[in-house]
C-alpha cells in the first residue's frame, strides 16, 4: 500500500520520520507539507515546514530546535545585525543555502514542487515531500492589534497577541499540487495520516486548498488523525494556547471535533481515552480510538 501524511513542521516531521522507519519502502509515503508558514524574507523564499521535513528526513535537523540544521553557525546573522539588518528570524549559515537555491530556481521558472523534489533527491530522501500547493497561501493571524503575517505573529511576536482567527490568503484561487492529488488518487492508498501538528496553523491551511476536503472524504482509505494534545497539553508549541483563546478546552476529544466529518479515527494517548469515552457517550461513536499498533506498517 501507499500512504499520505499531512504535516506541519517540527511535530509532524517527527511522526513522518517514524512512518519512514516502519515502512519497508519509504518511497510509498507522500508527506504533504503546509506552506501557509512560507514567506519572503531578506529577498529569499523561506518554506519552514518543507525545510523542517526535509532536514528531519535527511538526518540534518537541529535536535534542540527541531527546525534549522544541526551544527549550525550564525556568522551571517551577526554580520547582518552589525549592518542594521533584520535579525528577528534566524537564518543559519548552512540553512541559508536552501533558501538561496530555492529562490534562484523559483525565479528561473521552476515550481515549488519541482524545486522541493530536486532538493530532497539531492539529500537522499526516499519519501516524497510535496508542498500542498505551488500557489502561495500565506496564513494571516487576526489579532486585537490587527492582522499579522504568520511569521511576524509566530516568531517575531512569539505568539503573544491573542489569535482571534486565521485567514488562508489566496486559498480560494490556489490549486492543490498535482503530486498531492495524485497521491490521494493512488489505487492502493492504505491510509491518510494527519500528523500531530497544530490543527489551526498547520493542517487547516492544507484543508483550505480547494478540492482537498472533497478528495479526502471521497477516498476509500481511512483518514486517521494523531492527536497533538496529550493529557490536556500540546505535545509541542502553542496549540493548547490557541484552543483556549477560542474557548475550547484542550483535549483529544476537541481535536476529534475539529476534524469532525473528515476523519475516520483518532490516535490518542491512553491518558486521554477517558475523555474520548465521554465523547462517544455524546454520540460521536464513529470516532473510535485507534491503537498505535494499528498504525500503517508494511506487511512482511
Q: List residues near ligand FO1 by CB under 6 A.
A: 8-10, 37, 48-49, 51-52, 67-68, 89-91, 95, 151, 154-155
State in angstroms the smallest separation of the CB of 122 from ligand FO1.
17
Measured from the CB atom, the residue of 8 and 289 that comes closer to ligand FO1 is 8
How many other CB atoms are there within 10 angstroms of residue 139's CB atom? 27
* Least distance from ligand FO1 to the Cβ atom of residue 25, Å: 28
Q: Which residue, 48 or 131, is less far from ligand FO1 as judged by CB?
A: 48
CA pair distance 158, 152, nearest whole angstrom = 8
Give the residue carrying C-alpha cell 511535530: 11
Rounded Cα distance, 37 and 62, in Å: 19
Q: E strands, 132-245, where?
A: 139-143, 146-149, 165-168, 189-194, 223-226, 229-230, 233-234
- Looking at the chain, the number of H-run helices and the number of E-run strands are 12, 14
Q: Which is nearer to ligand FO1, 91 or 115 (CB)?
A: 91
| Grid cell digits, residue 265 | 479515527
Closest CB 89 distance from ligand FO1, rounded Å: 5
User: C-beta of 222: minimal distance to ligand FO1 in Å?
Assistant: 26
Of 142 and 264, which CB lies nearer to ligand FO1 in the complex structure?
142
Q: Which is nearer to ligand FO1, 204 or 272 (CB)?
A: 204
Q: 76 near 94, Cβ under 8 Å?
A: no
At closest approach, how far in Å is the CB of 259 from ligand FO1?
A: 19
Contacts of 196 (CB under 8 A, 6+ apart): 11, 12, 15, 226, 227, 228, 235
Q: How many Cα atoms occupy the beta-carbon half-sphere of 139 within 13 Å?
A: 30
What is the nearest approach in angstroms of ligand FO1 to the Cβ of residue 163? Answer: 13
Smaller CB separation from ligand FO1, 9 or 296:
9
Amino acid at each position: 500500500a501507499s500512504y499520505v501524511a499531512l504535516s506541519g513542521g517540527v511535530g509532524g516531521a517527527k511522526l513522518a520520520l517514524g512512518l519512514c522507519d516502519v515502512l519497508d519502502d519509504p518511497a510509498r509515503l507522500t508527506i504533504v507539507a503546509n506552506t501557509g508558514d512560507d514567506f519572503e524574507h531578506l529577498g529569499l523564499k523561506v518554506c519552514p515546514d518543507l525545510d523542517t521535513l526535509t532536514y528531519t528526513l535527511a538526518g540534518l535537523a537541529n535536535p534542540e530546535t527541531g527546525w534549522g540544521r544541526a551544527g549550525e553557525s550564525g556568522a551571517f546573522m551577526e554580520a547582518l545585525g552589525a549592518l542594521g539588518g533584520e535579525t528577528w528570524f534566524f537564518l543559519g549559515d548552512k540553512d541559508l543555502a536552501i533558501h538561496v537555491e530555492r529562490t534562484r530556481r523559483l525565479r528561473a521558472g521552476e515550481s515549488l514542487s519541482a524545486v522541493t523534489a530536486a532538493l530532497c533527491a539531492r539529500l537522499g530522501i526516499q519519501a516524497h515531500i510535496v508542498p500542498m500547493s505551488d500557489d502561495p497561501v500565506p496564513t494571516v493571524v487576526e489579532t486585537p492589534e490587527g492582522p499579522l503575517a504568520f511569521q511576524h505573529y509566530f516568531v517575531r511576536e512569539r505568539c503573544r497577541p491573542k489569535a482571534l482567527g486565521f485567514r488562508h490568503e489566496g486559498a480560494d484561487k490556489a490549486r492543490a499540487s498535482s503530486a498531492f492529488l495524485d497521491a490521494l488518487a493512488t489505487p492502493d492508498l492504505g491510509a491518510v495520516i494527519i500528523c500531530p501538528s497544530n490543527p489551526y496553523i498547520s493542517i487547516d491551511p492544507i484543508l483550505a486548498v480547494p478540492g482537498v476536503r472533497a478528495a479526502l472524504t471521497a477516498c476509500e482509505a481511512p483518514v486517521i488523525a494523531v492527536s497533538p494534545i496529550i493529557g490536556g497539553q500540546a505535545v509541542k508549541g502553542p496549540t493548547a494556547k490557541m484552543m483556549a483563546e477560542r474557548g475550547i478546552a484542550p483535549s483529544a476529544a476537541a481535536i476529534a471535533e475539529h476534524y469532525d466529518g473528515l476523519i475516520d479515527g483518532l490516535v490518542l494517548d491512553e491518558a486521554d481515552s477517558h475523555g474520548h469515552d465521554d465523547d462517544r457517550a455524546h454520540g460521536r461513536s464513529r470516532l473510535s480510538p485507534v491503537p498505535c499498533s494499528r498504525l500503517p506498517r508494511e506487511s512482511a
